[in-house]
Structure formats: C-alpha cells, structure tokens
Structure 1
Amino acid sequence: MTALNQAQRQTLRRSLQLGFFALFVLAPALNLLRFDLNETQLWFLGQRWSLGLDAFKAGETTAAQTAINIFTRAFLPAILLIAGFLFIAWRYGRLYCGWLCPHFAGVELLNDLLHRATAKFSLWDRVRIKRQGREPDRRWWPVFGLACLLMGALWAVTLLSYLLPPAEIWGNLLNGGLTANQARFLGIATLIFTAEFAFARHLFCRFGCAVGLFQSLAWMANPKGMVVAFDRDKARDCRSCDEPRGSACDSVCPMRLHPRNIKRMMFSCVQCGQCIEACDKSQGQQGRGQLLEWQVGLDAVRETLRQKKLDQQTRQDRPQ
C-alpha cells in the first residue's frame, strides 16, 4: 500500500469492497460456498464437500481412513483459515472489515446518504458535520429509507440462499410462490436487517459482530500491529483544518472514532485509511505534509509507547 497515494488507496479499497460484495451475493448461486439443508450437503468451489461418512457407513472405507478424511477436510482447513485470519488481524487490525466486508460497504453507503439528508452519519449524532460543501437536503430522506429497506431485503434473501437452493429461492420470490416458512424467514430477516442498517449499523460493527471483535482483540494484543500514527510534534497544524469540528480526520471516520486518539480508544478502527486521506488533502491544501500515517512493526511500538506515556501524563494532570 505504500506505493499508492491516498486517492489510489481508496479507489483500490472501493474496488475490493465491490468485488467482495458481488462474491458474497453470487457465491451460493455459483455453488462456491453454501450448505443445502434439503440435501444436508456442503458445496465448496462448485464441488460437493464430503467428510466420507457415507462411504464409512457403506463399508467402503475404514475407520482410520474416515478419521483422516475428517481431519484433512474439516479440522485442518478450519484451523488454517482461522489462524491465517487472526494473524492478519494481529498484524494489521480489522483489515477485513475496512477493505472487504460487505456489511461495512453498506454502512459507508448509508452513512453518505444520511449525511446528504441530515449532515450526520448516524441518527443518534448530536452534532452536524458539514463537509464537501454539502448542506442538509430533506429530499435524501426517502433515498436513505429505501436503501435501508433494499439492503435489508438483499441480506435476507442472500443468507437464505446459503441454506436453500438459490434457484428455488429466487424463482419463488419472482413468481410469488414462496413457501410459508420461506416468506416468514424473509419477512422477519428483512425487518431486522432494515432496522439494524437504519438505527444500529455502527453499534453492530463495534460490538455485535464477532468477526470484527476477534480481529480487534488480536490486534490489541500486538504492540507491533499497524496503527494510524499522529505526528504530535506538529499537532498545532490541526487547528488550521477547515472543518467545523477542528479536524478533517474526525469528520470522515465511518466508525465515528477520533483517529488521533490512543490505540485502546481506537479498538474498532477498520484501517480504512479515510482519515489519512482527509488529513493529506487538508494539509496539502496549505502546503504542508500529512500528520497521520500508517505505521507497523517497531514504528508502531514507538507510537504505542508514546501514546501510553501521553495518556499517563494526562491522567496525572487531572484534578483529584
């Protein structure tokens, strides 16, 4: 990522998000990954994935061969996948969330639509954040509401297609022939997802998503993990940011965090890099270099220690 400028990084990130979103929706239809409840059969990369239990019951394989099949086809892939995923999180933080996760891509889209309507990124924000010369426009309210509904419906249909044949689900949906159970599932799931996207999308990403939570825990355990570092020697330059809240970075964070804060206060940072891009643009307009940058390894350790020392000093300076 170091060879790309900030705008190119965001273009790459958006492209990866779009591609992974399409993969998330199309994977069941292409039999790339789904579990068919009707057949109790797992499909993976277009092939039926079996542990060999049927062959063992039919006496075609021995118990030892079946045990090896279970280990190599179930336990070993799961261990490697989890270990690799956690290692990336340990090293780089919630990189999956910020660069691939289809839910977070939806969160960013809805943030933008709501901001166009209210100059806020959440219905619960108290302070309006003006950026890009936008003024709140109530005509965007129906667009935001419709987007939440469509996103919720798409999530419900997609998740059901991971459990039942996609052709059956989409066919019944288009022909109005859903079974009672299918209609009940889609109705309830659409309602829940729509409400989550409209009212609690940030809370879900921070505290409700197990995938995000475990990434954050792995990242916090590594002092060398990649962090957004702040050049505190030039902190006074932040005052010149042409933003209502005094800093461009605070105004763009999709997780509603303050990027110049200490690491433990950035627990749910998704490493999207939007704060770095905003800082680079704001400071560049004034002929200065950016104050935020990614640091990893020993540079990240030094940043963490510096932040910890500053936090301790702040605590000591507080009146008892």
Structure 2
Amino acid sequence: MLTGLHSPLQRRRILLQLGFFSLFVLAPPLDLFRLDLNLGHFILFGQPWTLGLAAFQAGEIGAGQATLNLVLRGLLPLLLVVGGGLWVAWRYGRLYCGWLCPHFSVVELINGLMRRASGKPSLWEKQPLPSLQPDGRQLRPDRRYWPLTLLAVFGFAFLWALTLLTYLLPPAEIYPNLLHGELTRNQFSFLAVATALFSIEFLFARHLFCRFGCAVGLFQSLAWMANRKAMLVTFDRDRARQCLDCNNACDNACPMRLKPRTIKRHMFTCTQCASCISACSEFQQRRQRHSLLTWTDGGTPRDRRDSSPIQLYRPASRGRLQGGAD
C-alpha cells in the first residue's frame, strides 16, 4: 500500500524488504544457498552441504560418524531455523511476513498499483477506498496505471518462477539457456506453468494466499496466538472519540484487509507491518495528536483479547471524507 511511505518506520521496512528480495533472487547465482537436483545435495556458501551418507555407504566412515553428521548437518540446522523462526513468531508475531517475506513485498506493491488504477487494493474489494490519504494527499483512481499493474503482475510472476527454478537447477545452466532460447522441455514447462500460476495468484488472490494458503504464515500465527504477552498492535480506547473525524485510515492501510482496532483473535493473520500504525500516526499528526495505535505487549491493560471491536467512524461522513474534505 502507499500509506506511510513518508514514515521512517515504513521506509526502514521497505529497505529491509528490498534487501531480502534481492537476496532471495541472487542467492542461487551467487551460490549462497540452493538445492542442486543434478548433484543431489544442497549448496551453501559455494560448498556442498550433504549428510555424509555417501561416505558411510562407501565404507569410508563408521556408524558413529554418520550419526554425528546427521545431527550436525541435518537435525541441528533444522532445529535452529525452525525453532528460531517459531520463537520470533511466538514473541513478535508474523514479523518475517511483514518485514522480509519476498512474496508479501510483491503483494504490497501490486496492492498499491491496483489501488492507483482502480481505487481498490484488490479485485474483491466491495467499494473503492477513500481518496483522501492520512497525510492529506488525494489519491484518485487513474486507469493509466492498469498497464503498469499488469506488467508488475506478470513480471514478478515470471521472476518468481525463474528464481525458484534456479534454486533447483544450476543458474549457470538456466540463465544461458534462457538468453539463447535453448531451454530444455522440462525447464520451459516449469517456467510456463509456474509463471501462469503465480500470475493468477498475484492478480486475484495475493493476500488471500497469505491469509489462508501459506503454511509458513499459518505456523507463525499459531505460535503468536499461543503467547498472551506477544507483541501486538493495540488501540487506545480512552481516546477512541478521536477516530470520529477519520475515514478508517488504519483499516484502509492494512494490506491483509484486517481491522486493526478489533480483538486479537480477529487479527490472526496480522503481519506486524505497522501500516495501520503509520496511517494513524500521519492522520493524528495533522491534528497535533499522537497515534491511537501502538505496538505493545499483550499483557498490558489495553489488551484487546477481552475487548469488543471498535467501530466509531460515522458512515454518513465517509462519503464526505472520500470527496476530499479534511
């Protein structure tokens, strides 16, 4: 989404997303990490990463050394990655999704372009979002953005397909074959099918996949929900009336189409992107006030799990604010 681009917090988040997306694309050609199906093992920092079973089968090492290899090269790295990821999610929620995930960064980019083209961040949105932005700018739909939106959809779909292929086969083979039009039948089929599937997903079901189809996101959300003191976005109910002159800026800013002022269990798929916080901050700063949304621990007095949803906006005033009145 476009909200919060002037916020230092959102600028830092965008830089992290760009850096991690670049790492995601460049890791295979730089041999930082990939699975080489031709060789039958992983490549890590340019070196083969195997479990050492071939040496055991060849009689070069004993059962004890083979067991140690399985623990050190297989089980331990898996526990560190999975355990560390679940601990971060348990403590901070889906922080990886909102701040690093290369898929979610594409989701937000296409959301923003689609909103510029149609006024809606997705094809399934019932009504266009207000044109008045939290910082006072007007963002009116412009159909000229549709070609750019479609270019982003198909371009990122192809980039994702190509990148995934290089995680499985040597990039030194894939890129020259692509440039010279000499892809094998299997390589071409993989790129064609994967590009088509990603194009459909990016065009129609971006945040829906993040909410309902991503296993990584699901396990992060489950870990987060299990911790009553996990970090979450909380709403200052004592100042709730300050929402009356707002056009739901926090709701409009959420790329997952959630309601940030509601209870925690309704925020199950929150990515901690803080777009809602930035939107509220921008709106309230124009009125010399502080944001009503903040990151806090779940155990604070304003813990929303035992509270009812907040809906203070005036439906009658939404149209007026959409039209650009301050």
- Give the equivalent residue in structure 1 for 2:290: 289
Structure-1 residue corresponding to 2:281: 280
- Whether the 8 Å contact between 1:52 and 1:69 is mirrored in structure 2 is yes
Task: Note if contact 2:42-2:48 (Cα within 8 Å) is conserved in structure 1.
Answer: yes
Distance in 2 of aligned mates of 1:307 and 1:95: 20
- Matches of 1:297 and 1:151, distance apart in 2: 37
Post-superposition CA distance 1:228-281 (Å, at most 9, x none): 00001111100112xxxx221111111111110100010111001111111111
Letter in 2 for 1:290: S
Residue 233 to residue 200, structure 1, CA distance change in 2 (3 Å): same
- Contact 2:262–2:308, Cα closer than 8 Å, also in 1: no
Q: What are the ranges of 5 or more consecutive residues in structure 2 without an aligned counterpart?
A: 1-5, 310-326
Q: In the alignment, is the contact (CA less than 8 A) between 1:94 and 1:215 conserved in 2?
A: yes
Give per-residue Cα distances to partners, 1:50-93, cap 9 Å, x unaligned: 21112112222101110111111101110121111000000000
Q: Which residue of 2 aligns with 1:194?
A: 199
Percentage identity across paired residues of the two chains: 56
SS in 2 for 1:139: helix
Matched, 1:61 2:61: yes
SS at match of 2:48: strand
How far apart, CA to CA, are the structure 1 residues paired with 2:244 and 2:270? Answer: 23
Runs of 4+ in structure 1 deviating by more than 6 angstroms, as ranges, are none
Task: Name the SS of the counterpart of 1:197 in structure 2.
Answer: helix
Contact 2:28/2:167 (8 A) holds in 1? yes
Partner of 2:302: 303
After superposition, the CA RMSD in angstroms is 1.2
Amino acid at match of 1:165: P
Which letter does structure 2 place at the counterpart of 1:251? N
CA distances 1:11-53 after superposition (whole Å, capped 9, x unpaired)? 1111110000000000011111111111112101221112111
* Residue 3 of structure 1: aligned partner: none
How many residues are paired up? 299
Question: Residue 174 of structure 1 corresponds to which residue in structure 2?
Answer: 179
Partner of 2:79: 79
Between the two structures, name the one with larger relative contact order (CA 8 Å, sep ≥ 6).
Answer: 2
1: distance between equivalents of 2:67 and 2:41?
19
By how many angstroms is 1:171 displaced? 0.8
Alignment partner of 2:159: what SS?
helix
CA displacement at 1:161 relative to structure 2: 0.4
Deviation per residue, 1:143-189 (Å, 9 max, x gap):
11111000100010000100000111111111100011111110010
Q: Shift in Å at residue 309 of structure 1?
A: 4.2
In the alignment, structure 1 residue 247 sits paired with structure 2 residue 248: yes
Q: Distance in 1 between matches of 2:91 and 2:179?
A: 45
What corresponds to 2:114 in structure 1? 114
Shift in Å at residue 297 of structure 1?
A: 5.4
Q: How does 1:1-320 map to 2 (within 5 A)?
A: 7-129=7-129, 130=131, 131=133, 132-241=137-246, 246-296=247-297, 298-299=299-300, 302-304=301-303, 306-310=304-308
- Summarize the Cα distance change of 1:297–1:45 in structure 2 as closer, same or farther, 3 Å threshold: farther
Give how far 1:303 is off.
3.0
Structure 1 residue runs without a partner (length 5+)? 1-5, 312-320
Looking at structure 1, the residues matched to 70 and 112 of structure 2 have their Cα atoms a distance apart, in angstroms, of: 46
1: distance between equivalents of 2:308 and 2:43? 52
Opposite residue 123 of structure 2, the aligned amino acid is: L
Q: Name the structure with the higher helix share.
A: 1
Q: What is the alpha-carbon distance in structure 2 between the residues aligned to residue 80 and residue 55 of structure 1?
A: 25
- Equivalence for 2:323: none
Report the CA distance shift for 1:297/1:264 in structure 2 as closer, same or farther (over 3 A): closer
Three-state SS of the structure 1 residue aligned to 2:234 is strand
Tell me which amino acid in the other structure corresponds to 2:306. Answer: K
- Return the alpha-carbon distance in structure 2 between the equivalents of residues 21 and 224 of structure 1: 31
